[in-house]
Chain A
Amino acid sequence: MVRCSACGHGPLNSLLCPHCGAPQAVEVDCFAALGIPRKLVIDTRRLERIYHELSRKLHPDRFAARGVQLRDASLKSTALLTRAYRTLRDPVARGRYWLELLGEKLGDNNRVPPGLAATVFQVQEELEELREAHSTGAGRVAELVAGVAKCRKDLEVQLGKELAALEENFMRWDENGSQDRTPLIAALKERLSRIAYLKTLVRDVEHHLEEAAPA
């Protein structure tokens, strides 16, 4: 374990020395960076407040007139804090990071996750039709655009449901205690890959809609 570079207090597992308040250029995990317990369910409003409080104390603006070492520690610790905040603030990034901490990895995005096949097929078909009509200048473009726009709406609703379900995955994990984690890991992985796939699909649809939009 590391000790405070300014006052020697230690061992430290935070970006800020609790004893003298000096910023620390140490590698800590995202939860330690924000000084919160390792739980998947996070109140993001509270997280923002913590982030702001820590920023006030760590930010390089606070050390402009100080020595090189403090300035460097402030820069590195703030960079890490920012990264940690962005990771934990977003539930999807948080879930992925959680798997990473467990040494697990999400599979590649190219395989259609189970349960999404029908949706994917339908969306791809509509996009194909739009693409064709757009390139040949056929008159049905407006009608097809409306269809694809509806697709996007449906996908967003589905994405919303998955994100709500992700919060449930998180809750189950936090309540699980010391029981077998294998089924939880599998469920989390499945949820995250469905979300990733849906997001790619939404982007694809948006891209097509932009292309088809009148200049």
Chain B
Amino acid sequence: MSRIFGIDLGTTNSLIAVMDGPHPRVVSDPASGAALLPSVVAILPAGGVAVGERAIEMEPHLMAEKDGTVAPAGLPGTDQGAVIRSVKRYMGLGGTDLAEGDRKRYVFTELDGPVVRFKIGERVYTPPQISAEILRALKTRAETALGESVERVVITVPAYFNDAQRQATRDAGRLAGLTVERLVNEPTAASLAYGLHKMAAGRVAVYDLGGGTFDISILTLREGIFEVVATNGDTHLGGDDIDHLILELMLEGLPDDVRNERRVWNSARQVAEDGKRRLSEQERVDLRLELPGRTVERVLTRDQLERLAEPLVERTLKCCRTALRDARLETGEIDAVVLVGGATRMPLVRRRVGELFGREPLCSLDPDQVVALGAAVQAGILMGDRDDLLLLDVVPLSLGIETMGGVTERLIHRNTTIPTSVTEMFTTAADSQTHVDIHVLQGERELARDCRSLARFKLGPIEPKPAGVPRIAVTFLIDANGILHVMANEEETGAGHMVEVKPSYGLTEEEIERMLEEAIDHGEDDIEQRLLIAARNDAEQILAALGKQLKEWGHLATDDECRRFSEVAARLEAVRKGEDRELIAGTVQELNDLSTPFAERIMDEAIRRTLEKRSVEDLP
């Protein structure tokens, strides 16, 4: 049987890792050597896809430009494709879960449906389909690098992912042609990466500050058994919030119409993020934002950044204290602190976390890789290679059902070790009732309407009987992936007969089947599309290069050449945005041939000048 790989399917970046003897290692891209695959997916005009750096490269080509500003990708009526970032944020969401900001960014369809759908021109994609493309790219990367097939995987999810988000992640795996052997909580996986099991016994805290979310997990460790005792977190708190504060600082005082321009905002965000990174090494940095017609320059010191970030870090520490209280531990009782997520590179974070737990956090592993490495260790456990280790994870949110008056009755409490199950008895409220509706909820609030509606199940058919007579035993089982299964039995004759249970959320089996059939075409279409983009890039490059050469070395071209250059360049300019790849490539070739003698003359001239200069320098 093939090996199991560990995948960190992240919001910003994704990675794939595997056990290499006794140690896990990340599989880098064989071509570029990069360990991280940006979680960016480009849906190309003719239906193909590009993932990662290639998707980022295509972003400028795929943005709908209108009146000088960049409009949301995938505008209705346009079919030029779109670039989707941070698809993880949309996993497991229904249309009504979308915020206004989301609708500004992408175009969605079926907003009243159970699953969010991106609309790109005439085409529609669900988040699991987009995530599947990232998984597929990781699979291809590992297969190319290692020369073995990748079929079975462990995928990590944030500890705070609810049932729908976990289901969606598993669906994504299936759509990518992978067998998802296990979903593991990211912080829990991270605890495996450091080889802490060498301690006979101890308590571990995993502090995970990602781009958009914060998680804290407390584990106890005894003879190779990692047992999660408490988790906590904030799904709306991350490194991006810190970038945002710096961005606000930079855009301060600019007129609203400039601030609101998407392109301005995007480049400001990049400058902010870059500044934050550099401040982890340096004491002060110059932030420089180029805008049309002006340049914004600001100096930011580490002190200033830390004052800005302090309240956010304090919020993470509050979650840590709650988790410790749930685990019935004092801050001084933690034996090891593991840091996860790029934002934990900030000295402020390391210092505060160290102070809270009274010990230096572990940071010898790259905080961007530690989750994937842990996933690979878990894969090793599943393959039976590490039977000295076992991970006992917990359910992050309480599970309950709605009872009379809209009150939540909790059946499984948060932080309960999984797998776990509970059985409840149900009966009918009216005579001859043939179905019983059960509303399953996830969350900590007293009222059903304040919890997340997980599923509505219809139990039945039940044989018609007087009210209260039928006895239906319903078992709610949460498996090791944190996914809920519901089974029901009518206990009338003691033999018990299975009652059908129909969930009402996520993708149905039929929908997944259909998506598998209609899988995004990765064949010729994709290659054709890639070649088209490549031809367009070539056109852009040669036009820019020629323009630059004429400006600098124009005296080396004859008048006749200049006239012919501008004629062909104008033609190329006209065709390069079209769909006819061969015409673009042909015109590029034509211009290339035409300009070659000119380019050779430039080269000669440049060499001559260099030699002249050197001979002067060489003089004694």
Could you tell me which A residues sit within 8 Å of B by CB distance? Answer: 48, 52, 55-56, 59-62, 64-65, 75-76, 78-80, 82-83, 85-86
- Report B223 CB to chain A, min CB distance, Å: 7
Q: A52-B222, A64-B181 are in contact. Are A83 and B420 (CB under 8 A)?
A: yes
Question: Residues of A contacting B417 with CB < 8 Å?
Answer: 82, 85-86
Known: A52-B223, A55-B225. A61 touches B390 (CB 8 A): yes
Q: Which of B76-84, B87-95, B377-385, B531-539 faces chain A?
A: B377-385
Using Cβ atoms and an 8 Å threshold, which residues of chain A touch B381?
Answer: 61
CB distance from A52 to the nearest CB of B (A): 5
Counting chain B residues whose Cβ lies within 8 A of the other chain, the interface size class is 20 to 34
Q: Is residue B334 contacting chain A, with contact meaning CB distance below 8 A?
A: no
Q: Please state if A64 and B416 are interface contacts (CB–CB under 8 Å).
A: no
CB nearest neighbor in A for B388? A56
| 8 A-B contacts (beta carbon < 8 Å) | A55-B225, A56-B225, A61-B182, A61-B381, A65-B382, A75-B480, A78-B419, A82-B420
- Contacts A52-B225, A83-B421 hold; do A76 and B477 have CB atoms under 8 A apart? yes
A56 vs B223: C-alpha distance when bound (angstroms) = 11
**Residue contact A61 to B480, C-beta cutoff 8 Å:** yes
Q: Counting CB contacts under 8 A, is B616 at the interface?
A: no
Given A60-B479, A60-B480: A55 in contact with B419 (beta carbons within 8 A): no
Using a CB–CB cutoff of 8 Å, the interface residues on chain B facing chain A are: 1, 4, 181-182, 222-223, 225, 378, 381-384, 387, 390-392, 416-422, 477-480
B222–A75 touching, CB < 8 Å: no
Residues of chain A within 8 A of B4, CB atoms compared = 64
- Residues of chain B within 8 A (CB-CB) of A86 are 416-417, 420
For the complex, give the distance between the alpha carbons of A102 and B417 in Å. Answer: 27
Instruction: List 9 extra interface pairs beyond A56-B390, A65-B384, A75-B480, CB under 8 A.
Output: A52-B225, A61-B382, A61-B391, A62-B384, A64-B382, A65-B383, A80-B421, A82-B417, A86-B416
Assess the A59–B390 pair: CB atoms within 8 A.
yes
In the bound complex, what is the Cα–Cα distance between A211 and B478 (angstroms)? 34
Do B390 and A79 touch across chains, with their CB atoms under 8 A apart?
A: no
A52-B390 Cα distance, complex, nearest whole Å? 9
Contacting pair A64 B477 (CB below 8 A): no
**A75/B477 in contact, CB under 8 A:** yes
A57 → B minimal CB distance (Å): 10
Q: How far is the CB of B332 from chain A (nearest CB, A)?
A: 21
Q: Determine the chain A residues whose CB is within 8 A of the CB of B392 once the complex forms.
A: 55, 59
A33: shortest Cβ distance to chain B, in Å? Answer: 12
Chain B residues with Cβ under 8 A from A52's Cβ? 222-223, 225
**CB closest chain-B residue, reference A60:** B480
Q: Are A82 and B416 interface neighbours, CB within 8 A?
A: yes
Knowing A61-B480, A64-B382, the reply to whether A79 touches B420 (Cβ < 8 A) is yes
Which one of B4, B182, B422, B480 has the highest number of Cβ atoms from chain A below 10 Å of its Cβ? Answer: B480
CB–CB A82/B418 < 8 A:
yes
> Complex: how many Å from CA A61 to CA B378?
9
Expressed in whole angstroms, the Cα–Cα distance for A75 and B181 within the complex equals: 13
**How far is the CB of B352 from the nearest CB of chain A, in Å?**
21
Q: How many Å lie between the Cα of A85 and that of B418 in the bound state?
A: 12
- Cα A59 to Cα B421 with chains together (Å): 14
| CB nearest neighbor in A for B378 | A61
Could you tell me the distance in whole angstroms from the C-beta of A64 to the nearest C-beta in chain B?
A: 4
- The answer to whether B222 touches A83, judged by C-beta atoms less than 8 angstroms apart, is no
A59 to B480, alpha carbons, bound, how many Å? 9
Cα separation A86 to B392 with both chains bound (whole Å): 13
Inter-chain contact A75/B479, CB cutoff 8 Å:
yes
The listed residue (B378, B382, B421) touching A76 by CB distance below 8 A is B421
Contact partners of A80 in chain B: CB under 8 A: 421
Contacts of A78 in B (CB 8 A): 419, 480
Q: Which residues of B contact A64 (CB under 8 A)?
A: 4, 181-182, 382-384
Q: A52-B225, A55-B225, A75-B479 are in contact. Are A83 and B181 (CB under 8 A)?
A: no
Closest chain B CB from A91 CB (angstroms): 14
What A residues does B387 contact at CB under 8 A? Answer: 56, 62
B417 to chain A, nearest CB (A): 5
What CA separation (Å) do A80 and B392 show in the bound complex?
A: 14
B379 to chain A, nearest CB (A): 9
**Alpha-carbon distance A86/B418, docked complex (angstroms):** 11
Q: How far is the CB of B446 from chain A (nearest CB, A)?
A: 11
Least CB distance, B530 to chain A, in whole angstroms:
37
Whether B383 and A83, one on each chain, are in contact in the complex, defined by CB atoms closer than 8 angstroms, is no
Q: Which residues of B contact A75 (CB under 8 A)?
A: 419, 477, 479-480
Chain A, residue nearest B227 (CB): A52
* CA gap between A60 and B384 in the complex, in Å: 11
Contacts of A76 on B, CB cut-off 8 Å? 421, 477
Chain A residue nearest to B392 in the complex (CB): A55
Chain B nearest CB: distance from A79 CB in Å? Answer: 4
B38 to chain A, nearest CB (A): 30
Evaluate contact between A79 and B419: CB separation under 8 angstroms: yes
* Closest 4 pairs between A and B when the two form their complex, measured CB to CB: A79-B421, A64-B382, A79-B419, A60-B480
Bound Cα distance A65, B3 (Å): 11
**Minimal beta-carbon separation of A101 from chain B (angstroms):** 15
B264 to chain A, nearest CB (A): 35
**A75 to B4 alpha-carbon distance, docked (Å):** 20
For B479, list chain A residues within 8 Å (CB): 60, 75
A residues near B383, Cβ cutoff 8 Å: 64-65
Give min CB distance, A90 to chain B, whole Å.
11
With CB as the reference atom, state the residue of chain B lying closest to A80. Answer: B421
Residues of B within 8 A of A82 (CB): 416-420
Which residue in chain A gives the minimum CB-CB distance to B477?
A79
Compute how far the CA of A55 lies from the CA of B389 in the bound complex, rounded to whole angstroms: 11
In Å, the complex CA distance between A158 and B445 comes to 28
CA of A161 to CA of B381 in the docked complex: distance in angstroms?
Answer: 44
Closest-CB distance, A96 to chain B (whole angstroms): 14
Give, as a whole number of angstroms, the nearest-CB distance from B394 to chain A: 10
A83 smallest CB distance to B (angstroms): 6
Contacts of B181 in A (CB 8 A): 64
Nearest residue in A to B478 (C-beta to C-beta)?
A: A79
- Report chain A residues within 8 Å CB of B382: 61, 64-65
Residues of A within 8 A of B384 (CB): 62, 64-65
Q: How far is the CA of A55 from the CA of B223 in the complex (A)?
A: 13
Residues of B within 8 A of A65 (CB): 1, 382-384
Instruction: Find chain A residues with CB under 8 A from B416 CB.
Output: 82, 86
Instruction: Report the Cα distance A65→B4, complex, angstroms.
Output: 10
Compute how far the CA of A56 lies from the CA of B367 in the bound complex, rounded to whole angstroms: 29
**Interchain CA distance A214-B477 in the complex, whole Å:** 41
Query: Which residues on B sit within 8 Å (CB–CB) of A83?
Result: 420-422
A65 to B223 CA separation, bound complex (whole angstroms): 24
